[in-house]
Amino acid sequence: MALIKTKKAAIGVDGNYWRIIAVETHYGGPNQLWPSKHAKPVTYVHLAQFVNKAARIDGAMSLDTVRLVLDGESNGLPPEDPAYYKAPDFLPEPTRAAAYTALKTMKDFMDAADD
């Protein structure tokens, strides 16, 4: 389960293969098991970016790893603004399949191909 979308990695190299490497949900509140800056539930989706699928299969190191935050929050801009962004809500069942579905609704991966 991966997404195909070409983006420039932080090191300046293009990579088009994105693999979900971890999904974790923190349920918020004062009694949560792991510390989080969020007081309400939040899901973190960790992705590894590879040059391409062949590099991933051959065991190459990822170009970059990113952590996306799913908390239902927006970037503070009005919805009519073209730069408006709202993250999907947290995932009560933090599975790779649920994260994949949520990623396909996000601005950065809406047009990504499936693999």
Angstrom distance (rounded) from CA 56 to CA 62: 8
- Name the burial class of residue 18, with classes exposed (0-12), middle (13-18) and buried (19+) by CB atoms within 10 angstroms of its CB: buried
Write down the residue that tokens 């609704």 correspond to.
105
Supply 111's token pair. 């047009």
pLDDT tens per residue across all 115 residues of the chain:
799 999 999 999 999 999 999 999 887 655 555 555 556 788 899 999 999 999 999 999 999 999 998 888 877 778 888 888 788 888 988 999 999 999 999 888 999 999 9
What does the domain layout of the chain look like in residue ranges? 2-114
What are the structure tokens assigned to 17, written together? 């293969």
